[in-house]
Structure 1
Amino acid sequence: MHSRVHVGEYVLLRLPSDTLKLVHIVPNSVISIGKFGSFPCNLLIGRPYYLTYEITDKQSDTDVSRLRVVPASELNAEVLAEDAPSSDNPTEKADESFDIVADDGSVLLKNNRLTVDDGSRQVLSMDEIEELKKAGTGSGRDIIEKILKSHTHLSEKTSFALAKYTLRKHKKYLRRFTVLPLNVSMLTEYMIAEKESSRVMELREESLGLVGSWANVHYHPDTEPTLTEEGTQLGGGRWLVVDDTGGLVVASMAEKMGLLYPSNNDDEESDDDEAPVKTGAQQSAPTEDDDADIEMQEEDTKDEPTNEEPTSPERPKSNGRKRPINKHNTNLSSTNTLTILHANAQPNLSLLKYFSYDTNNPTATHPLHTHLKTLTWLQLLDPTADPTYHEPEALPPSELETLKSGKRGAYYRKRRRWARCKSIVDETRAGGFDGLIIASHMSPATILASTMHLLRGSAHIAIYSPTPEPLTEIMDLYSKDRKAAYLDHIAADTVPSAEDFPLDPRMVLAPTLQTTRIRPWQVLPGRTHPLMTWRGGAEGYLFTARRVVPVEGKVEARGKYNKKRKIG
């Protein structure tokens, strides 16, 4: 991930009201953050993340707003500022039945029992406040200062109540924001807080982290797995994923495996920073070089062999636009991979676009291009029924030479699409996956019935569900009682019925069901309680287990067993 804001990236702006705004960095555009104002997007390009900016006032009607970097000293001064005095006169006598006073009669700790929150205590009217906002002086600080001075009974508030009152005014009028990088953690927070949480099955950050941990998702540079003397498998792994969260689970797994962000180096970053920013029209308009690239690709397909799968030729560098190279690339990785099972014609991985990867138009330089594999349920269960799995007719070289360049290119694209589909389907049906991750609206029992045999021994299983009912069914199907009944059928040489045993209870070890939600608390002296205005929704539950291979035949224990142990 870049350490600075780059063109084409998505970033998050955290506003004073603790809300998040998703922004696409497009040169020569204007970013609007609602009532707080707007500013040119070019002012963020090349700037570091995690800086806090303040929108300054316009110098004239034709001018645009500028940004001022708020230094850390100013931010810390506001946080560490001393509490305001409880009254204008600290030696003023107080009601001893409600306040804590010192021996000399000065107030040590005020009590808010007699505090009355009434709008009439604010001298400034709404029309006057609107006039101050239109004047736009001091980036909101002057408005806050005048509101505090116009409060007639501000001295009655306790230090804690005064701090809360001042904080509310800062969130409402201060024109500041902090630029944050869009990683999986921030995207999860944005989807839960600002968008419809049902789109991601109300999957929170803590749940997402546990899914990756229990599934043992990791990255290893070794191309092929190796076994140690202790029998531990080292090296990259392969995970089977069923994702109905729009790609949020896939993005989290790819981030843990080091595959989510395009590779970049310092030289490329410095070149990008020094490169001139083009306008939107210059970026979107096709040029003659692009047309020449397309013609070159079509001409190069003449000499490609017929019996072997052709590889797409390297395109010469264009005028800065990134073009996909060989969308149906067959040079797929055999390890450190994510295989996605989906029910539609195309997988719903729309959230990956925020990380510069589009499944419909992938970029060959992105790590996910060779490590992300997708196939449908039809291709897994009955590949012969899927037309894409059938090999297209192979044309002889003499007939290929008579075709026009357009039809010849379509022929090779169809061959590459078939080769990629066949490679993924055959590899998936062969099994040997290191883990299974499920976050789907489908019944987990039906998914496990079709995918359990694809997992190797000791593979990890992690299933997320916003409600506990689907997972309690799985817990029952893998319970000890059902397993004992299944073994009794085998001992009696009777076939267990599929109605009573839809899943083989011997296939998993240590099935566990847990809840994952973390509730934020306010922890203050005498004021410790959960936040009352926290967003509701589903709790989130997680089923975890290990895949085991049932032993064949009868197992007997032999040896001597001493009931009494000698101590001393």
Structure 2
Amino acid sequence: MLYAVQVATGTTTPMVIKRSRFCAYGRPLSIIPNKTVSLGKYGTFPSNLVIERPYHLTYEILDKRASEDFSRLRVVPASELHADVIAEEDAAATPNDDSDRIISATDGVEYTLVDEDSGNVVVRSSREVLDENARQTLTMEEIEELKREGAGAGMDLVAKLMLSHTALDQKTSYSLAKYKLLKTKKYIKRFQILPLDIFTFANYHLEEKDAARILDIRQEMMGLVGCYANVHYGGDDVFLGDAQATSEDGAKGLPALRDELLQGRWLVVDDVCGLLVGAMAERMGILQPVQKEMTPGEANGHADTTREAHVGAVPINRTLNGHSTDAPITNTLTLVHSANQPGLSFLNYYGYDSTDPNPMPHPLVNHLLTVSWLQLVKPELDMTYSSPPPTATPAQLEQWKPGRRGNFHRKRRRWARIHHAVDAARAGHFSGLVTASMMDPVSILRHTLPLLAGGAPVAIYAPSLEPLAELADCFSVARRSAWASAPPAGAAGRTQEELERWQGDADFPLNPTLLLGVGIHTSRARPWQVLPQRTHPMMTSRGGAEGYVFTGWRAKPAEGKVAARGKFVGRKRKQDDTSGPGTETPGTPA
């Protein structure tokens, strides 16, 4: 499927530009209307040439015309991109004297090493002696002169470089194709525009940037985490103020809500700059802002329908002058962070800025809640949560200036939002837990496991195996058996709710009955070179951490002893069979 770039005046569209089809990863750029896009040594072009164009097209930067001060773009067709493959397939289908050529000499496709006057093939991979026209040499001065001339956007330069190679007759078919690939990558001014999805962005940071910043998490590991955590769209938004969200007695607190209304709430611990939050938000359908198609009347901008373009992302049914916040309680992410502010810098590429007090309309504004570890564990020690909300009488509000009055309402909304996020997180009943952090996973689960609903999945990513192996040992069968036969002294006399929040000891760091189906998984996609007698993994593949995922499912232990119930047919039948010699059971044949 092709996605069109929808850009309005003054907005930006993030995308990834690959410098050529032979480059694995490019760099992310924001295309702004009426601007100039620079690709370094490849050149520049106006941004309006790619706006409203489909993704995944390959463009070629053409030379500037004499009467213009900018470079135009040419869409490279697929027949030109795959000319080598088409030529090889045609040669295999119709073998002839020219079947051993590497480059097609028909239809004037790119990089054809043919004589322009006669049309004869100049270079052929099986020829032992090259034609005299192929024994040309180019000096660096001549190469620079050809580059300045920009003949054919580099195609003529590549052809002349191959013709000037005096040892071209000694190259095999594979070596000749590799030589052509290197020269093409160096001199051809081509690029491809891709949508900036999470996987492409992660690969860009792995290959081009600091991989340790994202804990070497690869796209297959992010997919594994999302699958085991069962991250998906949680349904339509449900608000506390809705009639369907209240219980039968009319209570509006989170603990009083029905269980079916609290689906789609995930708890996240993200120390990879928001990459994990973005991957989960993409699965939940809240990563990209929803763009409404404009009608012809709205596009013309009538005076009676024109309104301010930036009014902020005000949640639905929120009272601006009060301190209530009616954020949805379904299809949400609750991020637990250890700093004063959450580290979500990667989400800036997708139009969400967590530090903006008046953000642009975005689904994450209402569906992403942030809570610090102090607010989650001991909220009474947090100054922001424990401080009372600012108050003022209506008479005082009327006397204040608009700026001071706006600051007052903003502080009240911030106080209400923090209380809503902390209270919702401490109420629990989350649909799953996903973490990617360098913190000790045992300490993470000690405070987050009691907040999960029964049957909720747990997926924890770590770049190394050792911390996950230590965590898996806490829920082993041996520890569960020891817990059932001889509970620790610190757990004696506690209720089931107290046992779920028990802090553990040296023998039992965690309650081993809280997780079932514990396992550790890994996955890695390795690119292979597939050639006759040369099939092996790519020698240039990056190393880095392997990456592992710990998985499990939240269990609700039964209170007391399990008693069997039902009809004991087998025991009754056994008693009837041993009733004595010579007796007959009524209703059975003798």
Aligned pairs for 1:310-459 (under 5 A) are 317-318=307-308, 320-321=309-310, 323=312, 325=314, 330-361=325-356, 363=359, 365-389=361-385, 390-459=387-456
Match of 1:266 in 2: 293
Q: Report whether the alignment pairs 1:541 with 2:536.
A: no
Q: Is the 8 A contact 2:313 2:362 kept in 1?
A: no
Aligned pairs for 1:98-137 (under 5 A) are 123-137=137-151
Q: Report whether the alignment pairs 1:14 with 2:11.
A: no
CA-CA distance at 1:493 after TM superposition = 9.9
Match of 1:257 in 2: 284
Aligned pairs for 1:544-559 (under 5 A) are 544-557=551-564, 559=568
Could you tell me which amino acid in structure 2 is paired with residue 41 of structure 1? S
Could you tell me which amino acid in structure 2 is paired with residue 388 of structure 1? T
Aligned mates of 2:298, 2:46 — CA distance in 1: 22
Residue 33 (structure 1) aligned to one of 32, 39, 44: 39
**Structure 2: unaligned runs, 5 residues or longer:** 101-123, 129-134, 239-243, 246-258, 493-501, 572-590
Match of 1:485 in 2: 482
Aligned mates of 1:343, 1:182 — CA distance in 2: 28
Match of 1:142 in 2: 156
What is the identity percentage for the equivalent residue pairs of Structure 1 and Structure 2?
Answer: 46
Could you tell me which amino acid in structure 2 is paired with residue 245 of structure 1? V
> What is the TM-score normalised by the length of structure 2?
0.76
Distance 1:3 1:27, change over 3 A: closer
Distance 1:91 1:141, change over 3 A: closer
Aligned mates of 1:57, 1:444 — CA distance in 2: 57
Could you tell me which amino acid in structure 1 is paired with residue 62 of structure 2? T
CA-CA distance at 1:443 after TM superposition = 0.8
Aligned mates of 1:498, 1:527 — CA distance in 2: 56
Q: Is the 8 A contact 1:5 1:49 kept in 2?
A: no
Deviations 1:126-150 (A, max 9, x none): 3322222122111111111001111
Q: What's the secondary structure of 1:345's corresponding residue?
A: coil
Distance 1:453 1:220, change over 3 A: closer
Aligned mates of 2:86, 2:371 — CA distance in 1: 55
Distance 1:122 1:477, change over 3 A: farther
CA-CA distance at 1:410 after TM superposition = 1.8
Match of 2:58 in 1: 52
Aligned mates of 1:339, 1:423 — CA distance in 2: 11
Q: Is the 8 A contact 1:220 1:235 kept in 2?
A: no
Match of 2:508 in 1: 501
Aligned mates of 2:214, 2:513 — CA distance in 1: 32
Q: Is the 8 A contact 2:4 2:52 kept in 1?
A: no
Q: What's the secondary structure of 2:87's corresponding residue?
A: coil
Distance 1:450 1:412, change over 3 A: same
Determine which structure has more spread, i.e. the larger CA radius of gyration: 2
Distance 1:492 1:45, change over 3 A: closer
Distance 1:552 1:344, change over 3 A: same
CA-CA distance at 1:403 after TM superposition = 2.6
> What is the TM-score normalised by the length of structure 1?
0.79
Distance 1:48 1:156, change over 3 A: same
Match of 1:193 in 2: 207
Aligned mates of 2:333, 2:235 — CA distance in 1: 16
Q: How many residues align?
A: 491
CA-CA distance at 1:322 after TM superposition = 6.3
Residue 220 (structure 2) aligned to one of 203, 206, 216: 206
Q: What's the secondary structure of 1:81's corresponding residue?
A: helix
Aligned mates of 1:36, 1:268 — CA distance in 2: 39
CA-CA distance at 1:395 after TM superposition = 2.2
Distance 1:35 1:254, change over 3 A: same
Q: Is the 8 A contact 1:239 1:436 kept in 2?
A: yes
Distance 1:180 1:160, change over 3 A: same
Deviations 1:60-95 (A, max 9, x none): 49622111111223223344223899xx99899xxx
Q: What's the secondary structure of 2:155's corresponding residue?
A: helix
**Structure 1: unaligned runs, 5 residues or longer:** 93-108, 115-120, 227-231, 276-314, 563-568
CA-CA distance at 1:157 after TM superposition = 2.1
Q: Which has the higher contact order (CA 8 A, sep 6+)?
A: 1
Aligned mates of 1:340, 1:91 — CA distance in 2: 61
Aligned pairs for 1:231-242 (under 5 A) are 236-242=263-269
Q: Is the 8 A contact 1:223 1:235 kept in 2?
A: no
Distance 1:260 1:491, change over 3 A: closer
